[in-house]
Amino acid sequence: MIYIKDLMSGIDIFKALSSEIRIQILEMLASNQELNLNEIAKRLNLSNGAITMHIKKLEESGLIEINTSVGKHGIQKVCYLNKDRLMVDLRSKDVDNLYEVEIQVGHYSNYAAVPTCGLATKDSIIGDFDEPRYFADPQRINSEIVWMAEGFLEYRIPNYLKANQSFREIQFSLELGSEAPGFSNNYPSDIYFYLNGVELGFWTSPGDFGDVRGTFNPDWWPPHLNQYGMLKLIRINNEGSFIDGCRISDITLEKIQLDYRSELTFRIAVTDQSVNKRGLTIYGKHFGNYSQDLLARVLYDVHEVENIEPTKVTTAE
């Protein structure tokens, strides 16, 4: 996902989207994993020269990537979507008043796992498949993918606020999917989210995807296992809780009662209350389709502190 925090930072993208032809190119790439320049030109009934200019603008904006490959007719330029989602924060203000931290998916502070389950670094499986005891292995902090049929992962988020600052919004971005033995693209699972033990709501993952190889999966990762998830953005502010802009509950930051002294814990879970109880998989930056771990972002307000003059003490003469 490309997240535009303020309008000025997204000018290059907005310019790239100002052309109907470039919109059509993006639509074609969204429905086809890859297309070369000749295929795009043919489908739009345009010359290669005309297409090249549009492709260049899309590449410069970061909306697409271009790789070269050797084909039957020599070297070809192959185009891919860089990200499959674009989010623009129209109401963003005081963008300097934020901090963000990226936490490796294996750096959880608490867990419960029911098989099928497991975890792996970018180099190897940790322990054995379907053995929850390996979730306590010291090497788990290096995990880049974690999966379970039921249970939870809990992460501690640093709170850097000062006494004159207050939370405006907390965001979590992560790549998620269900957990099926092997994989199954049609395998819905209700995944719940909690902040400091307060249930924010849930998202139903459509499946445990494995139809194509994950973009960042290491070469040794078996093709018969899950390959990628979907990038989700959870936001909690004083209007409610949202996933990808859709309200999931009326839980606000005010109801959770956070201040600069609060500990912050974020939990992802599949529990008995899940109607579709088909597990969860969380992907780190070396697995799946997005080169990121769990990203936590805090937006805050700064309040003026009144200067109180010290009381003058007078003494009688």
**pLDDT per residue as tens digits for the range 221-237:** 999 999 999 999 999 99
Q: What residues contact 148, with CB distance under 8 A and at least 6 apart?
A: 113, 114, 115, 116, 117, 132, 179, 270, 279, 280
Whole-number Å distance between alpha carbons of 56 and 42: 17
Please choose, from the candidates 112, 151, 114, 144, the residue with its C-alpha nearest in 3D space to the C-alpha of residue 130. 114
Domain closes at, from 30, 54, 81 = 81
Q: What residues contact 265, with CB distance under 8 A and at least 6 apart?
A: 109, 154, 155, 156, 157, 194, 195, 196, 197
Same domain for 103 and 188, yes or no, is: yes
Same domain for 153 and 48, yes or no, is: no
**Cα 55-62-68 angle, rounded to 5 deg:** 55
pLDDT, tens digit (0-9, with 9 covering 90-100), for 96-148: 799 999 999 999 999 999 999 999 999 999 999 999 999 999 999 999 999 99
Domain membership flag for residue 312? no
Domain closes at, from 81, 115, 140 = 81
pLDDT, tens digit (0-9, with 9 covering 90-100), for 250-298: 999 999 999 999 999 999 999 999 899 999 999 999 999 888 999 999 9
Same domain for 35 and 106, yes or no, is: no
Same domain for 217 and 267, yes or no, is: yes
Asked if 45 contacts 34 with a C-beta cutoff of 8 angstroms, the reply is no
pTM passes above 0.75: no
Residue 31's pLDDT band (cuts 50, 70, 90): confident
Domain membership flag for residue 311? no
Same domain for 72 and 181, yes or no, is: no
Same domain for 121 and 206, yes or no, is: yes
Q: What residues contact 83, with CB distance under 8 A and at least 6 apart?
A: 1, 2, 62, 63, 231, 290
Q: 178: domain range?
A: 93-302
299-311: average pLDDT = 74
Whichever domain contains 129, its CATH number is 2.60.120.260
Please choose, from the candidates 233, 226, 246, the residue with its C-alpha nearest in 3D space to the C-alpha of residue 178. 226
Whole-number Å distance between alpha carbons of 309 and 317: 24
Same domain for 127 and 70, yes or no, is: no
Asked if 105 contacts 146 with a C-beta cutoff of 8 angstroms, the reply is yes
Query: How many residues are given for the chain?
Result: 317
Same domain for 22 and 116, yes or no, is: no
What's the number of domains the chain is made of? 2
Phi-psi region of 158 (alpha: psi -120 to 50; beta: other; left: phi over 0): beta
Asked if 211 contacts 168 with a C-beta cutoff of 8 angstroms, the reply is no
**Which segment of 5-9, 212-216, 253-257, 268-272 scores lowest on mean pLDDT?**
5-9
Same domain for 154 and 280, yes or no, is: yes
Same domain for 185 and 248, yes or no, is: yes
Please choose, from the candidates 226, 228, 210, the residue with its C-alpha nearest in 3D space to the C-alpha of residue 84. 228
Which pLDDT does position 95 carry in this prediction?
58
Q: What residues contact 13, with CB distance under 8 A and at least 6 apart?
A: 2, 4, 61, 62, 63, 86
